[in-house]
Structure 1
Amino acid sequence: MIRTRALVKRYGAVTAVAGVDLDVREGDVYGFLGANGSGKTTTVRMLLGLVLPTSGEAEVLGEPVPRAARSVLPQVGAVVEGPAAYAAMSGRANLALFDAMGAGGPRRTRRARVSEALERVGLGHVDDRPVRAYSLGMRQRLGLAGALVRRPRLLVLDEPTNGLDPQGIREIRDLLLDLNREGTTVFLSSHLLAEVEQLATRVGVLHRGRLVLQDALDELRGPTGRVEVGTPDVDLAARLVRSAGLAVDLEGRGLRVVSADPAGLVRLLVDGGVRVERLVEERRTLEQVVLAATTSDAAVPA
């Protein structure tokens, strides 16, 4: 769906994007992560043909961008650097105008498309108030509705939950997951790791303009080598584990054991008379993965 090769963008002496090789596959929810100023928005703008790369190549939906932008972009829904709208017009009128510019489809079904898009983002109740009277969260929802009018194959979003309260964030998260299940590939640029961790199937991490990490989220969040054990027999369990030469920390009604063999650990405990109520293999969080990638020597450009 998206592929770049050695994508570079320089502004004078400043390199905003330095040789990025993105690989976004059909059906992904791809979390594009990085701190503010890392080059995420510049990369997104190049993918949409809004900024020309200094060097390198970009493909969207299998076509070169910006050369094939005219045929590609009608299949892409996007919200970049905040939603755009005519402030004096209502949200519904804005979407109708956007649709009339060729975003959606036949004129006879325009009203239905606009209503459906507004309903999906939680703005189905909007009246004729001008957009200037909308809150930031409502504007974000309207921008997303504008992207959905296209009924896109690919949805490209830059910080889509900005300005939303926790309930709104959850609603947008559920909507994106629903769209993905229906066949839309989602490319989500964000610095909110907790949100991306609940959405993404694959992630890429940008640091100082360089892509320092790109893989399936499940692979990145691999086991830490520690196992959490819940048991009412904490003292007995700790003695057995220590006698086997394993490191252990006590934690209330449980313990945390350094073990590369969870099944063997269970056998050791059960054979020793320990009642095991819970056993969870500890996995790395996305925050731990990103911090490791962005603080290592390899992540710092020469």
Structure 2
Amino acid sequence: MSPEPSRLAPPPAPPIVALRGVGRRFGEVDALRDLDLEVPENRITVLLGPNGAGKTTAIRMITGALDAHSGVVRTFGLDPREHGEEVRLRCGVVSAKPALYDRLDGYSNLAYAAELYGMDRGEQMSERIHHAAARFGIEHALDQRVGGFSTGMKTRLALARSILHEPDLLLFDEPTSGLDPESSHAVLEMIRDMTDSGRTVVMCTHLLLEAEGLADKVIVMEDGHALVAGTPDELTRRYWPGSVLLVAAEDAASFGSLDEIAGVVHVEADNHPNRRRLHLDGDDRTPDVVNALVARGVRITRIEPIEPSLEDLYFAVRTKKDIADDGGRQLSPTSNDDATTDRHRQVAALTGWPGGRKDR
């Protein structure tokens, strides 16, 4: 009997977004330098880095709002500069400073956006508007002029606008900027929910706590390029290879020279004087280290493993400056699409496209 043929796993789905060797200059400043990144489908990808790292520029590249001076950009497999409308109709974007019509009320802003996205006025449009507004707690303000909105209210209106047309890809640039804690929590919950309904999310932030527990993939950026990219688990294995124990004792003086214990590679002070963080060279070292502490006469009051936070990983990455090389893959060019109708430009304005109309 011939052996059963091996069952091969299906090939991975192509990334929703791929940037290869992308560069962009503003005058003498390199905003992006040979940037490589991929955004997997139905996942939350967080671009993490300080202000000026290039996160916003990368977002604008994805929608075609900016040209790349070098490299290749593909969104849904398309060149967003050549297939701009097709790309942008599948994207929902919230920029750090969203463009809104201050002289219109909230409902009219959303209705206008819905029409640009191809929705007809009627019951379905009204339902979507009210549903989106309620999701971000602004349904009560739909009849008010946007010019009187606070910064947080304008951000929530822009978030509601971004999901009206049920896009495949959501791009959020500092989405909780100006929001109160309750609204910030609602936004982050919405981002989690989006991937459950088959959407892909890219979020820029410099706030580590925002990305904690949210990111399926983290891309750490600095000075216009990616320092490293991977899932939180991958980054943990790479930059936090051992285990860490938090040890508390009745008397701090009893600790002595903890780095002399076999298996302890680093000792870190804690914010409490009677606690230490012990970095071990392997997960199986914990019993030996505990026995060694007891043998030294340390009266242990607490001991527990520490899982690294995203903040721990972020600073470990930036300290080591270990630039990840994910390898390049040639992307095939696509055909030109020269459509430049007024509707295209108005849809483009919703994503910050330079040719789009903006309220004065």
TM-score with structure 1 length normalisation? 0.84
Indicate how the Cα distance of structure 1 residues 249 and 5 shifts in structure 2: closer, same or farther if over 3 A, else same.
Answer: closer
Specify the code of the residue in structure 2 equivalent to 1:256. R
Picking from 143, 147, 153, the partner of 1:128 is 143
TM-superposed deviation, 1:219: 1.9
Specify the code of the residue in structure 1 equivalent to 2:277. R
Partner of 2:332: none
Picking from 284, 287, 296, the partner of 1:266 is 287
Specify the code of the residue in structure 1 equivalent to 2:203. L
1:181 aligns with 2:181: no
1:225 aligns with 2:249: no
Correspondence list, 1:32-51, <5 A: 32-51=47-66
1:124-160: CA deviations, max 9, x gaps? 2224110011110010010011101021111001111
1:23 aligns with 2:38: yes
Say which is worse superposed, 119-128 or 99-108, in terms of deviation. Answer: 99-108
Correspondence list, 1:68-147, <5 A: 68-102=83-117, 104=119, 107-147=122-162
Indicate how the Cα distance of structure 1 residues 297 and 277 shifts in structure 2: closer, same or farther if over 3 A, else same.
Answer: closer
Specify the code of the residue in structure 2 equivalent to 1:192. L
Q: Counterpart of 1:125 in 2: which secondary structure? A: helix
1:9-50: CA deviations, max 9, x gaps? 123333221111111101221111222222222221121111
In structure 2, distance between residues paired with 1:132 and 1:258: 54
Quote the sequence identity (%): 28
TM-superposed deviation, 1:257: 3.0
1:289 aligns with 2:313: yes
Indicate how the Cα distance of structure 1 residues 140 and 248 shifts in structure 2: closer, same or farther if over 3 A, else same.
Answer: closer
Partner of 2:21: 6
Correspondence list, 1:225-264, <5 A: 225-229=242-246, 245=262, 246=264, 256-264=277-285
Q: Counterpart of 2:191 in 1: which secondary structure? A: helix
TM-superposed deviation, 1:5: 0.8
The structure whose residues are more often helix, as a share, is 1
Indicate how the Cα distance of structure 1 residues 263 and 275 shifts in structure 2: closer, same or farther if over 3 A, else same.
Answer: farther
Say which is worse superposed, 65-74 or 129-138, in terms of deviation. Answer: 65-74
Say which is worse superposed, 32-41 or 257-266, in terms of deviation. Answer: 257-266
Say which is worse superposed, 21-30 or 204-213, in terms of deviation. Answer: 204-213
In structure 1, distance between residues paired with 2:60 and 2:305: 42
Indicate how the Cα distance of structure 1 residues 5 and 105 shifts in structure 2: closer, same or farther if over 3 A, else same.
Answer: farther
Q: Counterpart of 1:86 in 2: which secondary structure? A: coil
TM-superposed deviation, 1:229: 4.8
Partner of 1:156: 171
Specify the code of the residue in structure 2 equivalent to 1:96. A
Q: Counterpart of 1:167 in 2: which secondary structure? A: helix
Query: Can you give the 5+ residue segments of structure 2 that lack an aligned partner in the other structure?
Result: 1-15, 324-360
In structure 2, distance between residues paired with 1:129 and 1:173: 26
Indicate how the Cα distance of structure 1 residues 108 and 62 shifts in structure 2: closer, same or farther if over 3 A, else same.
Answer: farther
In structure 1, distance between residues paired with 2:267 and 2:320: 28
TM-superposed deviation, 1:248: 6.2
Specify the code of the residue in structure 2 equivalent to 1:227. V
In structure 2, distance between residues paired with 1:290 and 1:82: 26
Specify the code of the residue in structure 1 equivalent to 2:138. L
Aligned residues: 298
Query: Can you give the 5+ residue segments of structure 1 that lack an aligned partner in the other structure?
Result: none
